[in-house]
Amino acid sequence: MKELVERASEFYYTKQQIDMLLRACQAKITELINSLKQVNFDESRHIFEELFEIQIILSDIKNKYLFEFNFNDFLNDFIYFFDRQDEYNVHYLYTHFQQSDNFPS
């Protein structure tokens, strides 16, 4: 029983750390998306590269390690809308975020 209490305590602490790191990821994503409004399409390449790197990491974490962990709607939408990394989607997302702070509906 003592081990169960210790494991539960470790789990609680680890979950708090993961929640904190996910909030930091969300803040970074928001910052990057907002920065798209300050550059033209050609200058947005490096921003999209960074967003796609974050998307790959979050998608891997969610699918490999945290499949039972519920990401919030913002992170789920980010993972979904930034999954396609082709030129058409980049242009679509760039145009969308020039006019909106929210993910497409």
**For residues 22 and 55, is the Cβ–Cβ distance under 8 A?**
no
pLDDT at 96: 98
- How many other C-beta atoms can be found within 10 angstroms of the C-beta atom of residue 63? 10
Is the CB of residue 78 less than 8 Å from the CB of residue 103? yes
Residue written as token pair 């399409």: 41
Q: State how far the Cα of 14 lies from the Cα of 42, in Å rounded to an integer.
A: 40
User: What is the pLDDT at residue 105?
Assistant: 83
pTM of the complete model: 0.90
Regions of the chain short of the pLDDT cut 50: none
Enumerate the domain spans of the chain.
2-99
The predicted pLDDT at position 48 comes to 98
